[in-house]
Amino acid sequence: MALTAGRRSTSKMRQEVFEQPTALARTLESGLRDIPLLRRQMDQRRPRFIILVARGTSDNAAQFGRYLIEITTGIPVSLAAPSVFTLYKSRLHLKDVLVVGISQSGESTDTNAYLQQARKRGAMTVGITNEPSSRMSSLAEHIIQVVAGKEESVAATKTYSCQLLALYLLAYALRAKVRRKDLFLIPELVSNALRTDNKIQSLAQQYRSMQHAVTIGRGLNYANALELGLKLMETCYVVAERFSAADLLHGPIALVEPSFPVFVFAPNGVTQPSIDSLLARLSSLKARTLVIDGKLVHMPSQTTDLYTPIPFIIPAQLFAAHLAQQKGLDPDHPRTLNKITRTM
């Protein structure tokens, strides 16, 4: 299904981007009501190691979770390779390990298989899903419920941001230095980020002929670089290479030539010096750079970069929705994709 270029997008994707302040507030309210029990159990069975298992957009959320939990708790975190269980039938030793499955639908076959096998091998298991009646909800010992509401667009938006919020709640349950009052600010920060819509629509018009791009982030915002790249690929059919700012310099920067599109997440904080250095390098190469930073989304100057990933993904999601329209595409129904993907 094609859309008419040049008109404001009325896609479900864009509508669901705008539903995020409410979805985040619901998820936070639900999580803070249920998380004390999980927190007590984490105190009794504090994991020595954490494994996050997910696919697609949920796997990008897991990348954020890895940085967040390691930074705020000191507990090592790994991303699972589901085929270790599903194809290679390996017998991992998972005593004192926490395994966290992340799935919008709760029906990701290999994610659920990993959760099931991990529990048999002594792991404590947590599921993060938007579907309370899903298979994941029955498999995991504990559920952190995403309360995004039904997501009709194949392109995940509000479920991604709510998964990030659920990972903050998981970190809170692990006694991380994550403050409740800061979590309550996130829906308001997202409302501020939504005010970029008109500007983003105008920018998207300038990228209508884009076929290739690079997306870049570092640290807590690396997941957003992965997610923006995925959205450009699945909704706009743009070939998007995705890198951390550090990895880009180890060879892939050779891709960049004058006018080559580069999208950079640039929060204030510990990653700022290296990002600023990279932006200077991109400028010298005359790249066509779009920067998502605290100026674009009007973040309060005192906001630590710990809380930037959710508001920073908003203009990226809007850009993909508007660019799809500019290309005459329907972001809600990307070719060959379905809302639920089952792989083993």
> Which stretch of DSSP H or E encloses residue 103?
strand 97-103
Token code pair at residue 225: 């670089």
pLDDT above 60: residue 4:
no
In Å, how far from its chain's centre is CA 130?
Answer: 14
Write the DSSP symbol of residue 301.
T
Q: Which three-class secondary structure state does DSSP give residue 14?
A: helix
How confident is the model at residue 340, as a pLDDT?
Answer: 55
Per-residue pLDDT of 126-183, as tens digits, reads: 999 999 999 999 999 999 999 999 999 999 999 999 999 999 999 999 999 899 999 9
Q: Give the phi and the psi of residue 6 in degrees, each rounded to 5.
A: 95, -10
What backbone phi and psi angles, to 5 degrees, belong to 102?
A: -125, 120
Q: Which residues contact 257 (CB under 8 A, 6 or more apart)?
A: 285, 286, 287
Residue-wise pLDDT tens digits, 293-310:
999 998 887 788 999 999
Extended beta strands in the chain, E state = 49-53, 77-79, 97-103, 124-129, 142-145, 212-217, 239-244, 261-266, 288-293
Tokens of 107: 């029906």
What is the residue-averaged pLDDT of the chain?
Answer: 92
Which residues face 49 on adjacent strands? 97
Q: Is residue 124 within 8 Å of residue 141, measured between CB atoms?
A: yes
**Spatial CA neighbour of 318 closest among 214, 203, 218, 233:** 203
Q: 286 near 295, Cβ under 8 Å?
A: no
Question: Can you say how many angstroms the Cα of residue 155 is from the centroid of all Cα atoms in its chain?
Answer: 12
Q: Which residue has the higher pLDDT, 337 or 237?
A: 237
3 in Cβ contact with 330 (< 8 Å): yes
Q: Write the pLDDT tens digit of every residue in 207-226.
A: 999 999 999 999 999 999 99
Higher pLDDT, 78 or 1: 78
Residue 144 DSSP SS3: strand
| Least-confidence region, from 15-29, 62-76, 310-324, 325-339 | 325-339
> Which pLDDT band holds residue 246 (cuts at 50, 70, 90)?
confident
Domains recognised in the chain with CATH numbers: 13-186 (3.40.50.10490), 190-326 (3.40.50.10490)
260 Rama class: left (phi>0) / alpha (psi -120 to 50) / beta: beta
pLDDT tens sequence across 80-125? 988 888 888 888 899 999 999 999 999 999 999 999 999 999 999 9
